[in-house]
Chain A
Amino acid sequence: MAQQLDYEPKLVALLCRWCSYAGADLAGTSRKKYPANIGIIRVPCSGRVDPLFVFKALRMGFDGVLVSGCHPGDCHYQTGNYRARRRMVITKRFLEYMGIDPRRIQASWVSASEGSKFAEVTSEITHELKEIGPNELFSDNGKGTRTEITK
């Protein structure tokens, strides 16, 4: 496990354009520290997130996926985050049944004013992912599929 000490997980964050993306922006402008392990993808709404995106990220070798959107009731499109909530609940439970550690699939509500919450959430998740270790789900030789990301 000596290698794991310097292991840095890679995390994809699918952030809603109205709340969480602005929240991440605020975390930056207010000089909050959050891990550099995170790659942000902006989506129009958390309701836009197809479970396909989550699984594709895992397939590509990312260690975890975070889906984040506006708090319930605050959706810019009224109901998008309710749909996202239903989707994430079943996605997480189903992937657990398949044999994927449920901690690899994360979801959060972060509003545009919660820069510090965004920093907290991402550091917590990074910490958890370090505990689980690298994503070797799709590897045949035990090396993982990280090359696909760095290409």
Chain B
Amino acid sequence: MPGIGEAILGIINGVLNLVNGMFNAKNTPEMKKAKKQQKETDHQNEIEKAIKEKDLEKLRRLLSE
């Protein structure tokens, strides 16, 4: 019986390590920076589009406090 408990713990440990590894892989400083830059670029494109199309309501939402 103790062998089964240890096996289960080993599996849980393995799963946790896997999840941790995946999390770290998705959150390297470079990836975080790239994600942030992409978000800023998307936002800038959205503002430019609202101005070009003279979409006042959208621009007001983008410029709200």
Q: Do A and B bind each other?
A: no
Chain B: residues with CB nearer than 8 A to chain A? none
